[in-house]
Structure 1
Amino acid sequence: MFIITNRRVNVGKTTVKTAFGDKPAEGPNELRLAEASRVNSKWHINVFPDRVNATGQAVSAKKAQEQDSMFASEYVAKQLVSKLKTYTPSRHLMLYVHGFNNDLASVLDRAEQLEQNYNLEVVIFSWPANGGGVQGVLSYKSDKRDALASVGALNRVLERLQSIVQQLHADYVEQLEQTTEAKFGDDAEKWDRYFTAAAAARCPFTINLMLHSMGNYLYKHLLSSSVYAGDQLIFDNIVMVAADTNNAGHANWVDNIQCRNRLYITLNEHDSALRASRMKMGEKQKARLGHYLRCLESKTATYINFTGQAHVGTSHAYFEGKPLENSQVRSFFQLAFNGQTAEDSLTFDAARNLYYF
């Protein structure tokens, strides 16, 4: 799987511990790409240089202008699209932003489970979220600082993702518009129906975003920052799982999020990690969005309550492990992570503005 990161990297190193550092890159907005694969049950890492050829190998400065030279991000995009088109049944693409105190080996293990459990192609955005080696409250505060320092990097990821999607479709869309115009002229209904079907056949996968735990805190600060463009319509679904950010006032920034289909916020009142998160900062730490069943005031989000569901218990990551023994939980995430509408079989509680199982 592919990794996008603003961690410090070491080109040529092949293990998780040697290829990636615990600190942000010297310029925290600097992004590097890498590929991770299993070799004899261990992760093998290939950090890409800035420019590569058509096979992903480094290109010298003298050959940087040659026809098959490209930025690593373009190479990764082409590999992903080519890979996604080979799957039968089709797979969908997920950008996964992890949370607090996650070392990269654990992030890779979790992303691998996401791929296997939900038939996905996962791309990881990894920020330096492991507390710089400290523990407890100091680790939590350190990761909050690193999250804030990573805002610009995440924005660059989204900008680059949007640019690549546009590039991949630009020539085809222009050609398709001409074909559709020749076929249907002024018949707007037939024009739209044909164009939509042909475009979907060309790109038979959705692109979705999963934010877990403090990854939501990072995304929140991106939305309120001066660097965020704000009009990027990239994702079909955005799933905010166990959000470790304030419940208070969340509608002010959540309602600025744009997606094509659904914005889901998942809730578990018994989430032990979010309870611990609230205690780490003492009285200053307000109720966390992912475990508070009140003040759910967003006009655009769809809130899903997992509290009390069989096998969920106090889980902070109820999209994996034992909670998946609950078929309803598994079904929800299967649909949500694959760009589909996931709440149709659930019951809506109008008084609290949430869905439950």
Structure 2
Amino acid sequence: MYIVTNRTVDESKHSESEAFGSKPIEGPNELRLAEVSRRGDRWHVDVLPDQITPEMAKSVGLNPDNTYPASAYVARKLIEKGGHGPGSRESGKNLLLFVHGFNNDMTDVLDRAERLEENYDVEVIVFSWPANGGGLRGVLSYKSDKRDALASVGAFNRVLEKLEVLVSEFHARYVMELEVRAEKRFKDNAAAWDSYFAKEVQKHCPFTVNMMLHSMGNYLYKHLLKSSVYNGDRLLFDNIVMVAADTNNENHAEWVDRIQYRNRLYITLNENDGALKASRLKMGEQQKARLGHYLRRLDSRVATYMDFTGQPHVGDAHAYFEETPLRNRKVLDFFTAALNGKVAEKRTRFDPSRNIHLL
């Protein structure tokens, strides 16, 4: 899988605990990319150079005589995994950008991303911000991560900008392939060419691009949406899934309603979420109700709210998209659909009095 990060990195190290630091990179919104693979029970990390080598360029079909940033290499690799390009697989996977939450070191992040790939058959790219409290614990760790989240807003915006370029390349390649097919079939019939091309383009893109934000990752997203650097017209994702959001419920519609998406914006809630209940006390005084566990004032005009409260195997889980909660088929089916860009609330019951879907 691929990691994009604003953590400090050490290119000479190959374990996740040594290659990635716990502090933001110095410099305005700088990002680094890394290629990560599982080797037995360990992770192997290759921090990619800012400019890729000629050998790397050649391996993904780029001209080795030219210079390219690491993002060009990763884009080509992801295009192949999506089912396109010279080294592509017959059946591609949908792409998921995963933004993790509070108090996650890189081993936690990679293990969770791997579970997302295995459980939902998606290709995960991770945005990892310095969310492990700088070695602190408890209230100090929580405050430290909140500061790092705010410091990571510009970097996260750059991630979305780069992903926008990647999605554009995905689309351009798909359109080019359709044009070649149309030319082979209808090169002497312009009307049939146009009709075939229009129908194929409208059917679907070859894969969907989705984003999942967990816990304090939603706090980071909130502050990006409210910042002056955010481009509100950016339409990147088919689905956006905001899970167990550790940010204020109060007035959340003011920033949630700015979010652009193609299919659905899901906000998931668990009233019994133990981590969110605890987070209300972590600042030394009671915080306001958290968006991910408060079943009132659900007043966004664009979000689809999903209630996981009281579901078998969910309990007080904060990460109810993995492990024990997935014994509940309704939970598994929801996240499988949502993280693959599909409509996920079809089999739920809607409660209009609270504006929420019940699993």
Both structures adopt the same fold (TM-score exceeding 0.5): yes
1:62 corresponds in structure 2 to none
- For the 8 Å contact 2:54–2:65, the answer to whether it is kept is no
- Asked whether 1:119 is paired with 2:121, we answer yes
- Give yes or no for contact 1:48–1:56 (8 Å, CA) kept in 2: no
Partner Cα distance (1:29, 1:71) in 2:
16
Partner of 1:141, secondary structure, is helix
Q: Please name the residue that 2:76 is paired with.
A: 78
Residue 344 of structure 1 aligns to a residue in which SS? Answer: coil
Whether 1:274 aligns to 2:249 is no
Structure 1 residue 169 displacement after superposition: 3.3
For the structure 1 residues 38 and 194, does the alpha-carbon distance in structure 2 shift closer, same or farther, using more than 3 Å as the test? closer
- Alpha-carbon offset, residue 222 of structure 1: 0.3
Task: Provide the C-alpha distance between the structure 2 equivalents of 1:80 and 1:104, rounded to a whole number of angstroms.
Answer: 21
State how 1:1-357 maps to structure 2 within 5 Å.
Answer: 1-53=1-53, 55-56=55-56, 67-85=65-83, 86-87=88-89, 89-170=91-172, 173=175, 183-184=190-191, 192-197=198-203, 200=204, 203-283=205-285, 285-357=287-359
Evaluate the alpha carbon distance shift between residue 171 and residue 345 of structure 1 in structure 2; reply closer, same or farther with a 3 A threshold. closer
Cα distance in 1, alignment partners of residues 325 and 26 from structure 2: 40
CA distance in 2, matches of 1:250, 1:262: 17
Root mean square deviation of aligned Cα = 2.4
Residues of 2 paired with 1:167 and 1:81: CA distance? 9
Amino acid at match of 2:332: R
Q: Give the drift of 1:81.
A: 0.9
Gapped runs of 5+ residues in structure 2? Answer: none
Distance 1:171 1:207, change over 3 A: closer
Structure 1 counterpart SS, 2:268: strand
Q: Percent identity?
A: 60
Q: Summarize the Cα distance change of 1:251–1:312 in structure 2 as closer, same or farther, 3 Å threshold.
A: same
How far 1:205 sits from its partner (Å)?
Answer: 1.0
The alpha-carbon distance between structure 1 residues 110 and 172, as it changes in their structure 2 partners (threshold 3 A), is closer
Instruction: Give the counterpart letter for 1:326 in structure 2.
Output: N
Distance (whole Å) between structure 2 residues aligned to residue 140 and residue 28 of structure 1: 23
Q: Which runs of 5+ in 1 are unaligned?
A: 59-64
Kindly state the Cα deviation for residue 165 of structure 1 after the two structures are TM-superposed: 2.0
CA distance, structure 1, for counterparts of residue 173 and residue 130 of structure 2 = 37
SS at match of 2:280: helix
The amino acid that maps onto 2:75 is A
1:31-82: CA deviation from partner (whole Å, max 9, x where unpaired): 0000111123101110001011354389xxxxxx963431100100101111
Distance 1:186 1:89, change over 3 A: closer
Tell me the SS of whatever aligns to 2:112: helix
Structure 2 CA distance for aligned equivalents of residues 298 and 257 of structure 1: 11
Structure 1 residue 342: deviation in Å? 0.2
Deviates more, 1:48-57 or 1:141-150: 48-57
Q: Cα offset for 1:83?
A: 1.8
Going from structure 1 to structure 2, the CA distance change for 1:302 and 1:21 (only over 3 Å counts) comes to same
Q: Is the Cα contact below 8 Å between 1:52 and 1:70 reproduced in 2?
A: yes
TM-score by length of 1: 0.91
Number of residue pairs matched? 346
In 2, Cα distance between equivalents of 1:71 and 1:135: 37
Instruction: State how far apart, in whole Å, the 1-side matches of 2:201 and 2:96 are.
Output: 25
Contact kept in structure 2, 1:53 and 1:68, CA below 8 Å: no
1:285 is displaced (CA, Å) by 1.2
Q: Distance in 1 between matches of 2:17 and 2:3?
A: 14
Return the TM-score normalized by structure 2: 0.90
